[in-house]
Structure 1
C-alpha cells in the first residue's frame, strides 16, 4: 500500500483510487479501504463523522473536511475551494468583514485557545491545513547536524482533532510528523513509537533541526529547497536503505508539492553522483550499492548545496541572518 499512500500524499486521490482498483488479487483489506475512500470522498454528499461534543468545533471541522474533499478529488479548483472555506468559517465567526483566509484562521486560533486547544492554520503546500490539537509538552534536545550541533526545544503535541489534509487524505495512515517554527520544533508524538529510534532521532529531530538552522543561515529558501537539504541530512545519518526507499516512493517532479519534489531532486542528484545516471528509480539497483557510499554522497551533495547558497548570498549581498559565523562552523 506504500504506493497508494504516496499518491494520496501527492494530492491525487483520483490516481490513487485508480491504482487501488488495479491491485490484484482483491483482498478483504483492499476492499475495506476502497469503501472507506468512496464514502469519504466520492459519495453523493460525503459526510465525515465527527466525534466532538462542541457544536462550534464540529462545524469548523466540517468546513475543513468539505474543503479537503473538494481539492483532493479535483472536484473544486484550489482557489475556489479556499474562498468557500473562508466564507463558511467567517459565518461561524459571525463576522461580516471581508477577512482574508489567513485573518480568518487567526480569529479561529484565538477561539480555539479559549476552548483549550492549539490551532495552526496556513498552507501545507499546495493545500491549506489546519492542525488542531489538545495537549502540548516541551522537551529540549541537543542535536548534531552536518558541521554543527544545536539545542532545540520540541513541543510534543498529542490529542489531535485534525491533522491537515495529509492526515485526512490517508485516514491518518500517513501524518505530518511535525514542523519547525522560530520558537522551536513541533512534534506529533503519536507518529513515533520510540524516541530513541531513527524515525524520531533522524527523520524528525535532525530533519527539523536542519530547518531551524537554515532559517537562520539562509533566510528566504523555498519549501522545496528546505526539504531537499533536510532530506539529505536524513540520508547522511540513517543506517540503511529504508529512507532512500521512502524517498523513491514519494518522489514526484512537481514543484507544487515541496516534499515529493525535493525527493525527486534528491534521487536525481544522487543518481548522477553515484551511478552516473539521470534518475534511477529501481530500488533493487540501490540495494546493490553499499549504504555508506550513499551516505557519503548525500554529505557531498549537502556541502555542494551549502556552498552554492553561500555564493548566491554573497552575490545578492543578502545577509544570512543572525549568527553568520555559527552557520558555517565546521566540526
Structure 2
C-alpha cells in the first residue's frame, strides 16, 4: 500500500476546547513536528491549574519527548524492533528539527540492519518491511506524513461501499475499515493517542482508522471527518490535475464542515484553530489557517461563533469559489438556483 501524503487527515479522540491555551499549544506544536515548542508549552502548563485529564496529557507528552524510547506491547520481536526504531526517530526529530535529515538516515540504517541488507533506500526498505511485518500478522502504512516518516500498524481490516454526498456532487466510495492497531503513527505516538491520522485515500479506495471514530460508521464524525473529507480528495484527484497537498486539504476541510453537525463542526474548528501554519509544506496546518481566514472573511465574524446553517453555507460557497477559480463549473446554488 502506497501512501498518498495529501490524503491524510488528523482526527481527534478528545477535544481540547476547554483546555488551557498552553495545552492546546502543546498539541498544535506537536502536530507541526516542533517538539521544542511543545516542551515549552508543557512547562508553562505545569505552572497552571490543570484538570486531571490535562495534567495526565502533559505528563504523557513530556514522557514521550524526555524518556528513553521503549517498546513493550507484547509484539513479535521483529515488529517490536521496527516500531522501536521509528519511535526513536520520531523522538529525535521532534526534539531537534534541524537535524531531521540525519535522524532519517540513521533510521534507514537501523531498518537495513534489521532486514540484514546493505541498501539504505527507503523505497526498497519499505517494500521488504511490509512483507516481513505481514508475516508477523500486521498490515502497515509507511511513507511520509509531513514532516516525518510514518509507520502505522494494524491487525484487521474489512471493506464496504458508501454513497457519499459532497457539496458539489455525489460519489460512491469503497472504504477499507482498519482496526486493532499497534501503532497509530508518529502523531498518535507524540500526542499519546489524542490525535492521529483518521484515514487516507489512494486512487481508488478510502482507508478508515476506526479507533478514531468511537461512534462507528453511523456517527457524524465518521460521515464528515472521514467519508466526506476523504471522498472530496478522491473526487478532486479525479477532477483536477496536480493539486498541491494543502489545496487538497483546504477543499476537503471545507467539505467536512459542510457535512458536520454542531458537535463535529465545533470540534473540527477548534482543532483548526490550535494547529495553524504559514508554511505550505505543512499541508494540514496551512490549510487550517486558510479555511479559518476564508470563513472569517466571508462571515465577517469568527466561524466559531456563527450558527450551523451559516457555517455550512459559507463552507460550500468557499469550495464553489475555489472550484470556479480552477476552471470548474459553478454549482447551481452558487449561480442562484435553489439547491
The bucket for the TM-score relative to the shorter chain is 0.7 to 0.9
Root-mean-square deviation (CA, aligned residues, Å) is 2.1
Contact residue 129 and residue 163 of structure 1 kept, 8 A: no
Using the alignment, how far apart are the partners of 1:239 and 1:28 within structure 2?
29
Contact residue 64 and residue 190 of structure 2 kept, 8 A: no
292, 307, 322: which is aligned to 1:305?
322
294, 310, 318: which is aligned to 1:269?
294
Matches within 5 A, 1:15-54: 15-23=37-45, 24-26=48-50, 29-43=53-67, 46-54=68-76
Deviations along 1:41-75, one digit per CA (max 9) or x if unpaired, are 223xx122321342111111111011000111126
SS in 2 for 1:77: helix
Using the alignment, how far apart are the partners of 1:251 and 1:34 within structure 2?
20
Q: With structure 1 as the length reference, what TM-score do the two structures score?
A: 0.85
168, 171, 180: which is aligned to 1:147?
168
Deviation at 1:127, TM superposition (A): 0.8
Deviation at 1:266, TM superposition (A): 0.9
Deviation at 1:156, TM superposition (A): 0.7
Using the alignment, how far apart are the partners of 1:269 and 1:95 within structure 2?
50
Q: Which residue does the alignment assign to 2:283?
A: 258
Asked if 1:103 is matched to 2:124, the reply is yes
Using the alignment, how far apart are the partners of 1:260 and 1:288 within structure 2?
21
300, 307, 320: which is aligned to 1:290?
307
Asked if 1:58 is matched to 2:80, the reply is yes
Asked if 1:205 is matched to 2:222, the reply is no
Deviation at 1:294, TM superposition (A): 2.2
Using the alignment, how far apart are the partners of 1:213 and 1:27 within structure 2?
43
Deviation at 1:151, TM superposition (A): 1.2
Deviation at 1:32, TM superposition (A): 4.0
Using the alignment, how far apart are the partners of 1:139 and 1:257 within structure 2?
31
Q: Which residue does the alignment assign to 2:105?
A: 83
Asked if 1:127 is matched to 2:148, the reply is yes
Q: 1:150 to 1:31 in 2, by over 3 A?
A: closer
Using the alignment, how far apart are the partners of 1:286 and 1:5 within structure 2?
21
Contact residue 70 and residue 76 of structure 1 kept, 8 A: no
Q: Which moved more, 1:69-78 or 1:157-166?
A: 69-78
Using the alignment, how far apart are the partners of 2:89 and 2:203 within structure 1?
28
Using the alignment, how far apart are the partners of 2:102 and 2:218 within structure 1?
44
Q: Count residues with an aligned counterpart.
A: 302
SS in 1 for 2:201: strand
Deviation at 1:106, TM superposition (A): 1.3
Relative contact order higher in (CA < 8 Å, ≥ 6 apart): 2
Q: 1:21 to 1:292 in 2, by over 3 A?
A: same
Runs of 5+ unmatched residues, structure 1: 312-329
Using the alignment, how far apart are the partners of 1:184 and 1:307 within structure 2?
26
SS in 2 for 1:175: strand
Using the alignment, how far apart are the partners of 2:52 and 2:236 within structure 1?
46
SS in 2 for 1:62: helix
Runs of 5+ unmatched residues, structure 2: 1-18, 329-337
